[in-house]
């Protein structure tokens, strides 16, 4: 039996919500990403500042930075990926359980940034992983990072 829209509205007036399990899980996931505490160079400092009390990432529910990739579901790639770091990032991503998402923070993670013509930086993290959201900036302000996280939230809710 499929509910029509006005049937759902009628039920909601009596505090009865009808949904799919998938929508329920996505609502939970999108409101509480657990980022992995990973970062190289300048961008993670702005990530730290966004976790501090002025910008406060906790009001969105994303303050639980986990040190182990086994417990995280969001890989916030902050900063450039050097040749030595490439196998490390691939391994971290492989160790994260599904479902997982990748957010590329900063110009270096998006395309290599100001170091693009160097010999030791990958031209963006999307050369090795599939990226869900790109947040440009050098470094992006905490507000820009929040905008990126909210875009990811919209994306996950629609999954």
Partner 1 sequence: MLSSETYTINIGPQHPSVHGGLHVEAIMDGELVKDAIVHLGYDHRSMEKIAENRTYAQFVPYTSRLDYLASQLPTMAYCQTVEKMLHLEVPERAEYIRVIMAELSRIASHLIYVGSLANDLAGVTGLIYCLRDRERIMDMFEMTGGQRMLSSYIRIGGVADDLPDEFFPAVRSFLNDLPQMLAEYEGLITGNEILQARTKGIGILSAEDAIKYGVTGSNLRASGIAYDIRKAEPYGIYDRFDFEVPLGKTGDCWDRTEVRMQEIVQSAAIISQALILLPEGEIKAKVPRVIKPEKGTEVYHHIESSKGELGFYIVSDGGEKPYRVHVRAPSFINMMVLPLISRGYKLQDLIVNLASLDPVLGESDR
Partner 2 sequence: MQDSFLDDILKDLQERFPDSLQVSQDEWLTYLLVKPESVQPLMTELKDKHGFNHLANLCAVDYNEEFEVIYHLYSIPLSHRISVKTRVPRDKAQVSSLVEIYPTADWQEREAYDLMGIIFAGHPNLIRVLLPDDFVGHPLRKDFTMKG
Q: Contacting partner 1 (CB under 8 A), which of 32, 41, 60, 136?
A: 41
Nearer to partner 2, 113 or 142 (CB): 113
Query: Minimum CB separation from partner 1 for residue 43, in Å?
Result: 9
Q: Is 120 in the site for partner 2 (CB under 8 A)?
A: yes
Q: How far apart are CA 32 and CA 26, in angstroms?
A: 10
Q: How far apart are CA 147 and CA 8, in angstroms?
A: 31
Q: Contacting partner 2 (CB under 8 A), which of 17, 54, 98, 119?
A: 119
Nearer to partner 2, 74 or 121 (CB): 121
Beta bridge partners of 76: 103
The count of residues interacting with partner 2 (CB under 8 A) is: 7
Query: Which 77-96 residues touch partner 2, going by CB under 8 A?
Result: 83-84
DSSP letters of 135-155? E--SSPPHHHHHHHHHHHHHH
Q: Is 138 in the site for partner 2 (CB under 8 A)?
A: no
User: Cis bond leading into 7, ω under 30°?
Assistant: no
Nearer to partner 1, 75 or 156 (CB): 75
Q: Phi and psi at residue 76, in whole multiples of 5°?
A: -90, 95
Q: Which of 62, 25, 33, 32 is nearest to 159 (CA)?
A: 25
Q: Contacting partner 1 (CB under 8 A), which of 65, 123, 126, 151?
A: 65
Q: Which of 84, 126, 86 is nearest to 105 (CA)?
A: 126
Query: Which 98-117 residues touch partner 2, going by CB under 8 A?
Result: 116-117
Q: How far apart are CA 156 and CA 99, in angstroms?
A: 10
Per CB under 8 A, residues contacting partner 1 are 36-42, 44-46, 48-49, 52-54, 65, 67, 69, 79-80, 82-85, 88, 92, 114-115, 117-121, 138-139, 141
């Amino acid at each position: 039996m499929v509910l029509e829209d006005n049937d759902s509205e009628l039920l909601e007036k009596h505090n009865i919500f009808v949904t799919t399990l998938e929508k329920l899980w996505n609502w939970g996931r999108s409101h509480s990403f657990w980022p992995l505490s990973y970062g190289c160079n300048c961008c993670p400092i702005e990530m730290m500042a966004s976790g501090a009390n002025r910008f406060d990432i906790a009001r969105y529910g994303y303050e639980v930075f986990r040190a182990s990739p086994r417990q995280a579901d969001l890989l916030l790639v902050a900063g450039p990926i050097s040749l030595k770091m490439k196998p490390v990032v691939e391994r971290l991503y492989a160790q994260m359980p599904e479902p997982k998402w990748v957010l590329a923070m900063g110009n270096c993670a998006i395309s290599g940034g100001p170091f693009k013509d160097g010999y030791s930086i990958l031209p963006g993290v999307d050369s090795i992983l599939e990226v869900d959201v790109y947040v440009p900036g050098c470094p992006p302000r905490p507000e820009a990072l929040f905008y990126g996280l909210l875009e990811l939230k919209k994306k996950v809710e629609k999954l």
